Amino acid sequence: MNYMAFLSFLEQSDESFKSVCRRTYVENQRVISVKKESTAIKNLKKILDAVFYISVKKGFTAMTMRDLSNHTGLSMGAMYAYFKSKDDLLNIILTQGMSMISRVLENIMKLHADPQLQLEAVIKAHIYLSEKERSWFYFMFMEAKKLSPKDLKAVKNAEYYTEKILVDILQAGAKSGVFNDQNHVMTASIIKAMQQEWYLKRWKYSSRDITVDAYTDYVLGFVKSFCWKNNGGQ
């Protein structure tokens, strides 16, 4: 399997690190005091790149503003022009990450009325998006266990939201007779776990020369064998 399906997704999706940084700027102008959009977007990308890099090395909780300043080349004062505290920065990252995921999945769902095609498309889109923006996905998952109760609730809500999309599609397919009628919540949970496996253990699949397309096809094969009526599902 080659990378063609993933490349097609990249061409069709308008989500990129730069576009998310632009949305971050537009939606947080109440906090961000920098007026020149191009400068703000460039520096936001520097800051977010640094956050994701440092978090892998030592964790977001242990990261200091001095760490960010050293890694980005921005002064402490310059960074405070974009957020007032680490809590503000964390909130921006979580909010934009959740927004990015919901936009992509909802847009993909609109393209298909058939539950089988819809489920395939949503599964693919989630895995492909996590490949495209792996740092964002990895940060949101790995840092969740260290969050405050308030921030952790927001991450859990995002988990339930994407899981509910799968549940709704599975229920609609069962009702129309194309999916097996089973425990759709459990099925959605397992699908979600397989999606997360890709960006959490990317190193393992890279070492085996498994592409994102090959992994996605394998996940879809499992889902079809279990969910599709008259396709080996129980």
What's the confidence (pLDDT) of residue 93? 87
Predicted confidence at residue 167, as pLDDT, reads 97
Contact 205, 198 (CB under 8 A): yes
Whether 121 and 111 have beta carbons less than 8 Å apart is answered as yes
pTM: 0.85
Residue 33: helix, strand or coil by DSSP?
coil
Residue 110's identity, in one-letter code, is: K
Could you list the pLDDT tens digit for every one of the 234 residues in the chain?
334 476 677 666 666 778 888 888 888 888 888 889 999 999 999 999 999 999 989 888 899 999 999 999 999 999 999 988 888 888 888 888 888 888 888 888 888 899 999 999 999 999 999 998 888 888 888 877 676 777 777 777 778 888 999 999 999 999 999 999 999 999 999 999 999 999 999 899 999 999 999 999 999 999 999 999 876 444
What confidence score (pLDDT) does residue 15 get? 66
Distances (CA, A) of 210 to 8, 47, 90: 18, 31, 32
Question: Quick check: 124 and 9 in contact, CB under 8 A?
Answer: yes
- The structural domains of the chain, ordered by start, are 4-227 (1.10.357.10)
Question: What backbone phi and psi angles, to 5 degrees, belong to 35?
Answer: -95, -30
Angle 210-112-224 from CA coordinates, rounded to 5°: 45
Distance of alpha carbon 201 from alpha carbon 119, whole angstroms: 23
Which contiguous run of DSSP H or E holds residue 232? none
